[in-house]
Every structure is written in structure tokens, then in C-alpha cells.
């Protein structure tokens, strides 16, 4: 399945792209309205995998009213003689912070299939897309994949960083249920020391709001360490053996936060985190969050 994210703000577009990629959707990103129009028209005139199955447009991407009217522009192109086969328009979804019943009716009248409300959640996105695209049977297949992937975490070393002992235990219990080996740290500074290359951790869950040093600052310092090491390796000022024979150091860091608002997610990405999980912890969410980083390992092991 192929999707297009239309948003003039790169951080917002990256957030939506992350969610869709976790669902196995190939995603392209476009920033301005004219480019979005051109790329959709071009894709409509191709066949097979090149066509877009869905397009997500952020309501605030291009100014007031511009996103709402976007499907009408595509229809106008068809009516004005653009070479678009009948029925070839992709399914359009509007991403918004809030939608009143009246606005929902208006967006569907404008040509949108449905709307997705922020803050975005993987489960909510999946349910909306499956329903709108008539793929409920795919949803059942997707949900059934968690058991075959049970072995995904069985050999992984995970670091959980949280100054709340109870939260640490809860996260560790969930991850260990899937076979992971979990180490806990109660301070950001401790995590920095533990993640100094070389180390043997495969991923890190980092609480955002910790005393002394929050998860954002800890992540920035970890990324700085990795960048320094990577440059030493790239310039051959240090040997691969010195750093565990790893060519490029970048440990997946996932934020642990109870404040799942768009601004928090943006800050997570800006400081170098790869994704986030929300409190209270849910087994499927924790599992699916790390699956995106380890799926290739599992496939390699099966081949």
C-alpha cells in the first residue's frame, strides 16, 4: 500500500510518516499544494504500485481553508480535461486537531473519506484506514501478527530509564513478557554512561520528565556521543574493533510520556528520539514500537 502525506511543516509530516510506516505503508511526503497536486495527478496516470491508495492532508498545512478545498482541485483537474481515469482518485483523509459534526459533514462533501484527529495513535489510525478502505479482514491479519513475532525481542537487551521505580517495573515486566532482557536506570546521567559506545543495548525507553536531567537532554547527549564516535570511525581515527565492530552507532530511543500531545512528540523527534510510547503502558503499544527497529533482524534470521 502506498500513501502520500501532504503537510508544509516537516516535523508534522515526519510524525504522520512514522505512524504509517509502522503499519507497513510506503509513504511519500510533499510540502506544498502545487507539488501535491502534480504528484497525485502523475500517480493517477500510472498503474499498479505507483498509484496512491491514500492521501493524508493536514488541515493547517497551507493556511486556513486551503486543505479543505484540496480534493476539489483534483476534481477540477479531471473536469478540465486532465488525463485521469474515472475512479482513479486516491482516498483522501484530513488530519485535524478537532472536528465538529458540521465540519465532518463539510469535509466529506468536499471529497474527503474521513478525518484523523490529533494526537495521532497507531490503533486509531489503523482502525480509521481499515474501515474507510474496506479492509477489515486486513485488520484481523495485522492483529494476529503479534504472536508469530513473539521471538522478536527474545535476544534483545533493552534499557529502561525512569526515575519512578514503579514505572520501571511495569515497563520491564511488559518487555520481559516478550522475551527481552531488561536493565533499568533511574537517572538520565546514568543512562548516558551506560549508552557510551561500545555497549550491548538494542533499544532504550527513556522517560521524558525526570528530575536532575530530563529525557530530552539525556537523548541529546547520547546522540552527541554517537555522532563523535561515528565521525571517528568514518575518518578512521578510531578502529572498528575499538567500538565493537559497529560501523554506525544509533540506538533506538523511545520516549516514555504521559503527555501525548503533538508538541511533545515534536520535541521527541527534535532532540533525537525515534518514537514514543504513552503511559499507562500497554503491551501491544510497547511491542509494536520496537518492532519497527527489529523486524529486519527477524527476517534475516529466518532467511
Residue range 188-208: mean pLDDT, rounded: 94
Evaluate if residue 9 carries a pLDDT over 70: yes
Q: What is the DSSP pairing of strand 253-257 with strand 203-207? A: parallel
Tens of pLDDT, residues 143-196: 444 434 456 677 789 999 999 898 889 888 888 887 889 999 999 999 999 999
User: What CA–CA distance (Å, rounded) separates 149 from 3?
Assistant: 25
Q: What angle do CA 21, 133, 282 make, to 5 degrees?
A: 50
Distance in Å from the first CA to the final CA of the chain: 24
**DSSP 8-state code for residue 198:** S
CA angle at 250 for the pair 246 and 253, rounded to the nearest 5°:
140
What pLDDT is stored for residue 32 in this prediction? Answer: 87
> Which residues, including other chains, have CB under 8 Å from residue 39's CB and lie 6 or more apart?
4, 28, 30
Looking from the CA of 202 toward its CB, the CA atoms found within 13 Å total 18
**pLDDT of 78:** 63
Residues of the chain with CATH 3.40.50.2300: 2-144, 147-302
- Count how many Cα atoms sit within 13 Å of the Cα of residue 72 in the half-sphere of its side chain: 10
| pLDDT score of 198 more than 90 | yes
Average pLDDT, rounded, for the chain: 79
| Residue with more model confidence, 240 or 11 | 240
Query: What is the three-class DSSP state of 54?
Result: strand
Rg (CA), the chain: 22
Those residues whose C-beta lies under 8 Å from the C-beta of residue 29, and which sit 6 or more positions away, are 4, 5, 6, 7, 10, 13, 14, 17
Instruction: For residues 217 and 226, give the distance between their C-alpha atoms in angstroms, rounded to a whole number.
Output: 14
What is this structure's pTM? 0.55
CATH class of 147-302: alpha beta
Over 60: is that where the pLDDT of 83 sits?
Answer: no
Alpha helices per DSSP H over 235-273: 262-270
φ and ψ of 110, to 5 deg: -75, -15
CATH of domain 2-144: 3.40.50.2300
Question: To the nearest whole percent, how much of the chain has pLDDT over 90?
Answer: 22
DSSP 153: G
Q: Alpha carbon of 39 to those of 13, 15, 55, 246: distances in Å?
A: 16, 21, 11, 39
Amino acid at each position: 500500500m502506498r500513501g502520500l502525506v501532504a503537510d508544509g511543516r516537516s516535523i508534522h509530516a515526519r510524525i504522520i510518516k512514522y505512524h504509517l510506516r509502522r503499519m507497513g505503508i510506503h509513504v511519500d511526503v510533499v510540502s506544498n499544494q502545487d507539488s501535491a497536486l502534480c504528484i497525485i495527478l502523475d500517480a493517477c496516470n500510472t498503474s499498479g504500485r505507483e498509484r496512491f491508495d491514500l492521501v493524508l492532508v493536514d488541515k493547517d498545512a497551507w493556511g486556513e481553508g486551503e486543505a479543505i478545498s484540496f480534493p476539489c482541485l483534483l476534481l477540477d483537474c479531471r473536469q478540465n480535461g486532465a488525463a485521469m481515469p474515472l475512479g482513479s482518485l486516491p482516498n483522501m483523509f484530513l488530519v485535524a486537531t478537532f472536528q465538529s459534526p458540521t465540519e465532518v459533514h463539510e469535509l466529506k462533501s468536499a471529497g474527503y473519506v474521513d478525518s484523523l484527529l490529533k494526537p495521532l495513535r497507531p490503533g486509531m489510525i489503523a482502525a480509521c484506514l481499515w474501515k474507510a478502505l474496506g479492509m477489515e479482514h486486513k485488520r484481523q491479519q495485522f492483529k494476529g501478527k503479534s504472536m508469530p513475532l513473539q521471538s522478536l525481542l527474545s535476544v534483545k537487551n533493552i534499557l529502561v530509564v525512569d526515575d519512578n521505580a514503579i514505572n520501571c517495573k511495569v515497563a520491564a515486566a511488559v518487555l520481559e513478557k516478550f522475551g527481552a532482557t531488561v536493565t533499568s536506570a533511574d537517572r538520565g546521567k546514568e543512562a548516558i554512561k551506560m549508552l557510551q559506545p561500545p555497549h550491548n543495548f538494542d533499544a532504550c525507553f527513556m522517560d521524558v520528565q525526570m528530575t536532575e536531567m530530563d529525557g530530552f537532554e539525556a537523548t541529546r547527549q547520547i546522540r552527541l556521543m554517537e555522532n563523535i564516535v561515528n565521525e571517528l570511525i568514518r575518518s578512521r581515527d578510531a578502529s572498528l574493533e575499538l567500538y565493537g565492530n559497529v560501523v554506525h552507532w544509533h540506538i533506538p530511543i523511545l520516549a516514555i510520556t504521559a503527555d501525548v500531545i503533538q508538541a511533545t512528540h515534536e520535541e521527541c523527534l527534535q532532540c533525537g528520539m525515534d518514537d514514543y510510547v504513552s503511559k499507562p503502558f500497554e503491551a501491544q503499544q510497547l511491542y509494536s514500537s520496537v518492532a519497527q527497529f527489529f523486524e529486519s533482524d527477524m527476517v534475516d534470521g529466518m532467511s
